Structure 1
């Protein structure tokens, strides 16, 4: 049995779950319908997973889309999605903490449940760097409604491989300190959409236990550990 570095992220990769972020593709559609994305835009899906959001943006807005993910399994599945749908989306393998792209490159960047799993300050600074002046950034991120006790927070952080859990004010402060402006925070009640799956040929049986633990945590902390949509501009 192979070693699982981050069991939850490995689960997402091996099952090839599209729309694994809170709210799924329905939330993505809801938040993007209010954005003025068009065919002249260059858009980045930062932490694209299997490329569901990147494909949607390409198909819906005819924008030039680049998608980035650090997980080679996810990257391969995203490339396959674009190939079978004949979409001109560029898929890059790399870290959101050190994005292999030039400064002031994108009109619009979206990141869905990605920042929580990395060095948040590095990732947000990189996003700010590659966003054009006047560009828009949207992040969908798990957020505490209130602080939990140490044992509860450790349970969540250890399972998901997080270095910290942030309150709404913490996320807002991080964006502001990086230089972002016009920060808005929204609570969405979008009905969860059914994820699509792109299964790997061989899946470690231990990952099904990971799925059960994930569902247990979601149920246990559903009143205190939700998500927010953060929108801002450079």
Structure 2
């Protein structure tokens, strides 16, 4: 059993809107899309369900959530139950999505691809999207190449397999069958999460998780000019 990871911290602290820009940025991304109550939407890697709850509240769309982490699943389930929202919640991986081809009008993916096998997940997204369907992704992106040591440090801390430049992401989306790729860089400072983050603490959490929170803060300070994010919107 390895040590605790950044994902463990997010799960145990029940961080809602952990992605760059938080729920505030999510709302502005969604406002630019043509979402109606007829739309089927997959929140891929839904975390504690903050975005999915907003989607239902705002659009009354047909929302399905996919999440692998059992602690996050529990917190999302409790959220939807307390709100009495009819959101389908499924435990599973974005690398093997348990849905038929052409199932969704939209897939929303917020800081998920960085932590998984990217080509595998993107091919799955393409498969389950309807023709003309839209993928909206807010993902960690580096502004410039890093030296080997710095790259190692970031990759190891976040437990990810690679760091991608904007051009790497675009190439990957294209290779996985996506078109009309638009990129938004809102130049948000990752350290400035203007919409306050939401926390839903687990009853038992390990004290070491505080040091992970600390390290995360240190990473953002140390690499503030390199570590960034982009919002990609594209079509099938």
Alpha-carbon shift at residue 101 of structure 1 (Å):
1.0
User: 2:121 aligns to what?
Assistant: 123
Report the secondary structure of 2:228's partner residue.
strand
Alpha-carbon shift at residue 197 of structure 1 (Å):
1.0
User: 1:108 aligns to what?
Assistant: 106
Pair 1:69 & 2:71 matched: no
Moved over 6 A (4+): none
Equivalent of 2:211, from 209, 212, 224?
209
Report the secondary structure of 1:232's partner residue.
strand
CA contact (8 A) 1:185 1:228 kept: yes
Report the secondary structure of 1:81's partner residue.
helix
Alpha-carbon shift at residue 88 of structure 1 (Å):
0.7
Q: CA RMSD in A?
A: 1.0
Describe the superposition over 1:118-151 as per-residue Cα deviations: whole angstroms up to 9, x where unpaired: 0000000110000000000010001010001000
Alpha-carbon shift at residue 171 of structure 1 (Å):
0.3
Pair 1:84 & 2:86 matched: no
Report the secondary structure of 2:125's partner residue.
helix
Alpha-carbon shift at residue 209 of structure 1 (Å):
0.5
Alpha-carbon shift at residue 86 of structure 1 (Å):
1.1
CA contact (8 A) 1:44 1:65 kept: yes
CA–CA separation in structure 2 for the residues paired with 1:137 and 1:69:
17
CA–CA separation in structure 1 for the residues paired with 2:110 and 2:4:
18
CA contact (8 A) 1:6 1:161 kept: no
CA–CA separation in structure 2 for the residues paired with 1:4 and 1:21:
24
Q: TM-score, normalised by structure 2?
A: 0.96
Report the secondary structure of 1:152's partner residue.
helix
CA–CA separation in structure 2 for the residues paired with 1:27 and 1:36:
17
CA contact (8 A) 1:4 1:10 kept: no
Residues 188, 76 of structure 1: CA spacing in aligned structure 2 closer, same or farther, 3 A cutoff? same
Alpha-carbon shift at residue 154 of structure 1 (Å):
0.4
Alpha-carbon shift at residue 189 of structure 1 (Å):
4.1
Pair 1:132 & 2:126 matched: no
Residues 52-201 of structure 1 aligned to structure 2 (within 5 Å) = 52-189=50-187, 192=193, 193-201=195-203
Q: TM-score, normalised by structure 1?
A: 0.97
Equivalent of 2:32, from 17, 31, 34?
34
Identify unmatched segments of 5+ residues in structure 2: none
Residues 11, 224 of structure 1: CA spacing in aligned structure 2 closer, same or farther, 3 A cutoff? same
CA contact (8 A) 2:44 2:94 kept: yes
User: 2:222 aligns to what?
Assistant: 220
How many residues get paired?
232
CA contact (8 A) 2:39 2:105 kept: yes
CA–CA separation in structure 2 for the residues paired with 1:195 and 1:128:
31
CA contact (8 A) 2:42 2:63 kept: yes
Identify unmatched segments of 5+ residues in structure 1: none
